A and B are shown apart, each in its own frame.
Chain A
Amino acid sequence: MAKRTPERANLLQGTLDMLILRTLLYGPAHGHQIGKHIQRTTNDFLQMQHGSLYPALHRLERRGWVTSKWEMAPDRNREFKYYRLTDKGRKQLVVEESQWKQMAEAVARVMWPAAEES
């Protein structure tokens, strides 16, 4: 679709992927739950855009990091599409987490050099 600046897109995309994978670590969840969870946990700081959530979920599925299955919801008498973390997805989460950490540290070093020294 539209051209985006690649670095920024990767960053955002990667971050969202990581957040979703992390959320699924608690157990299987459907799209709505995942979105709500991220939104609640960040105290509504990250407004979950469904427009990016669903594409992200399908992208993760394509890459084999999550699987999906239609299952009955325990509290509602209806089926939802549940996403579940795969082993590959678990490994990916570790990788992304460490990358994110490195990046956060690198950014921190630039932004607050004094804090680093002390």
Chain B
Amino acid sequence: MKWWKIGKRDADLERELQSDLELEEEEQRERGAAPEEARYAALRAFGNPSLISEQTREVWSWDRLGTLLRDLRISIRTLARQPGFSAVAVLVVAVGMGATVSLFTVVWSVLLKPLPFDHPEQLVRLYESSERFPANVVAPGIYGEWKRESRSFSDLALYQDWPQYNLSEGGALPEQVRATICSWDLFATLGVQPRIGRSFTAEDDQPSANGTVILSWSLWKRRFGGDSSVIGRKINLDAKPYIVIGVMPRWFAFPEQKVQIFLPVYHERTPEQMAQIDNHGFVVIGRLTPGVSREQATQEVSAIVRRIHDAHLDRPFMSSGAGIRPLIDYLVRNVKPALYMLLAATGCMLLIACLNVANLLTARSAARAREIAVRKVLGGGRFRLLRAQLIETLVLFSVGGAAGLALAYAALRWFVITRTDMVRAESIGIDAVVVATVAGLVLICALLAGLIPVLASRSGNLVAALQESSRSSTSGHSRTGVRKVLVGAEVAFTVVLLVSAGLLLKSYMRLRSNDLGCATDKILTMHFTLPEVHYSKPAQRVSFFDDLLTRVRALPGVDAAGLVRAVPGEGYFGDGSVTIAEHPPLPQGQSLLAIVRWADPSYFAAIKIPFLRGRTFGSDQRLDGAKEAIISAEFARQFFPNEDPIGKHLIGFGRGSYEIGSYEIVGVVGDTGYELAEPPEPMMYFPIDAGIESGAALVVRAARDPESLALPVQKVIQEMDRELAVSDVLTMNQIINRSSLDASFEATLLAALAGISLLLAAVGLFGVLAYLVTQRRTEIGIRLALGAQREHVLHLMLLDGLAPAFGGATVGSLLAIAAAQLIRSSLFATKPLDPAVFAGVIGLLLGVATTACLIPAWRATRVQPATVLRSE
């Protein structure tokens, strides 16, 4: 029988029974019964027609679908009859599902889904390794050797994705764009072709070639209006001409979404730079030849590095080996722990939601105990009842799951918009895998939440159930026991979430209040890079710097201005190696490493970095005359223990971004953090007026609102060079916000999850105690009638309700200790076992639990003995 015939068959049966019943009635009448009498007699002889049709349908129900559909209909009807219960349950499930599905989608899309390239499992990233830097970026000379000698890779490419270029072309506003400079075979290695135009060739990738550039899809759409005739057009990058040869596909976001143009690296860098073997600055990726394992490849590239290392023992920064990791691991390295932590947290919340629904269902099945017992006595099969219950739960969770999916969709839209900075954010979306996972989760959760109440009710025997519900003076202990355990578990998981959230919040606040070592209020910063073409001579750069500072200082509302390569909190940027002239020579192959900053004499005063000793650069520190250096307190502490650094000389190796030579230390300044979360590293400052650096950050201290200065300052730069663009126009506080974005995001999200869980646990507690009070009304009435004090009743009920909260809090604290160890690496200046957080959480939890229990407990004391006893 097909399901669409069911309706017809039903009607047919009704008609058959009806006609036979009427015939019976007629016969009764023919035998002389009065019409009304005949009707009842017929019914008596015939039996209950609905029962008969029910039993007859049973015959048909050999086909499972029929019964299933019927159970489904019944359960929907049952749920619709209790809209309050159903709405709460669906809401709880939807919130739990929504959060879990959102996070799962992010984890799946970002961490697990294969990269959108050809045979992504073959793609690896290669590292140089040394004792000090076990996974370092690669020097271009090493890449050259690998490329020449290694047999493990079918393709090997290198790139750098942080250079900024000044993009300008005929009349349009100039802008700073992020570029990837790469070997010509990067796209071939990934197995990607430009959407329009052509890819780089080996001929493009050499110093003598004409400049070529490939655009990202978004730049092409935004700046060139998606016009295909852009291929072959000339654009200016850092004031040099380049021909556009291609546009990458829309989905292509490698290595990051922010990269807007691609340039061939051997054209961008000099042959000398590309031959360096100890200036590590490139990412190298490769495609393993089929059949070659990562271990074999590692051995091969490691041996090559080792050989070069042994031939250059005098170089302090040569690596001694190499390592290989899957490319995807490298791309997602920064987000992985946080995402898994958040996924675990949402999973925890989903579990709490499930327990909560199980709790509600247990409460309801308790209320329905009599109905169920009656059904059993009348022969309702255990399996049938179980199935009916499970179908009901499944309906509940399916609706909740669908709502959760909708919630997740909205949450993900929001997430993708807020967190564009996250790697692979563009790949986040709900796909078949996610939907299948939702279906699986719905099934698992429904089974979990559906089976608990059934198992709880199995233990009681029928007679007891019937007797019990006929007299309500005592409650089913086993069932209340189950509910108490459920609530206890909810509380325990809530404690875990609350503690984790508390730790992250504390860590975030510590991070925010962490002293960068400089002024953070009323400071405006912006970056610019002077293009080589127009500013090839140091003197040109220095005169630009001078002119800029003079003009900016003249603006109304500007208190001070200075220049520096990078302001505190912006990142590591460059480092350099030095030796100290006055110290005994270091063993061969060793030198001191410190962060390098180029600054003008007024920078320190402008951003309020204090001088601990000495003075700032003299006004004569210009061009070739620049021979002074300033060091940070940490530099002095590490490299000049117990001696006065002033007057000593730093000898530079010329490796990295500053010149060979001797610099006299004239001052010691306070430490500044290069990253908000990192402890200060030794830092050395050189005069920017040497004119070697072409890029700088302008630091402006405002009298009042720093943001109101952004436009006037940018206008000044425009007036000085119409084609020069500025980037990262940010106040110091915005820089801090940006560096603490991850921490704030994690802490906020986890706090929200913990808050919802707390609410769920409180509702659970409230529900259990309210139920208990209702069950024990008679008992309380008798107690009161016998002279019990109302305060005593209040205490009694409160203790009853709080017992699972205490138990849960204890177990939860133990679990939280374990969980805190897992998030240890995300914590900044916060101990995983922070007593304040633990005490605060437990205090908060018990406070909420008491509040949740107080209402039903208070209601218990309002019981009127007379009313209760009368109703018995």
Contacts and interface: CB of A to CB of B under 8 A. Distances in A.
A113 interface: no
A76 B26 contact: yes
Contact of B19 (A1, A2, A81): A81
A73 to B, nearest CB: 8
Contacts of A50: 46-47, 52
Contacts of B56: 54-55, 58
B62 A62 contact: yes
B381 A49 contact: no
A30 B19 CA distance: 10
A40 interface: no
Contacts of A55: 55-56, 58-59
A101 B28 CA distance: 37
B40 interface: no
Q: Give chain A's interface residue range (CB within 8 Å of chain B).
A: 20 to 34
A54 B55 contact: yes
Contacts of A31: 16, 20
A2 B59 contact: no
B23 interface: yes
B500 to A, nearest CB: 51
Contact of B379 (A2, A51, A59): A2
Contacts of B23: 32, 76, 80
B60 interface: yes
Interface string A43-70: 0000001111011001100100000000
A8 interface: no
A112 to B, nearest CB: 37
Nearest to B24: A32
A2 B52 contact: no
A51 B52 contact: yes
Interface residues of B, number: 28
Per DSSP, chain B at the interface is: helix
B17 interface: yes
Interface in B1-52: 12-13, 15-17, 19-20, 22-24, 26, 46-48, 51-52
B59 A59 contact: yes
A51 B62 CA distance: 18
B590 to A, nearest CB: 86
Contacts of A49: 47
B805 to A, nearest CB: 43
Contacts of A58: 13, 56, 59-60
B381 A54 contact: no
B20 A51 contact: no
A17 B26 CA distance: 27
A52 B54 CA distance: 11
B16 A81 contact: yes
A32 B20 contact: yes
B608 to A, nearest CB: 86
Contacts of B59: 55, 58-59, 62
Nearest to B15: A81
7 contacts: A2-B381, A3-B379, A31-B20, A55-B55, A58-B56, A76-B26, A81-B19
The 5 closest A-B pairs by CB, nearest first: A2-B379, A32-B20, A81-B16, A54-B56, A58-B59
Given A54-B56, A81-B12, 17 more contacts: A1-B381, A1-B384, A2-B380, A2-B381, A3-B381, A30-B16, A30-B20, A32-B24, A49-B47, A50-B47, A51-B47, A54-B13, A55-B56, A55-B58, A62-B59, A80-B16, A80-B23
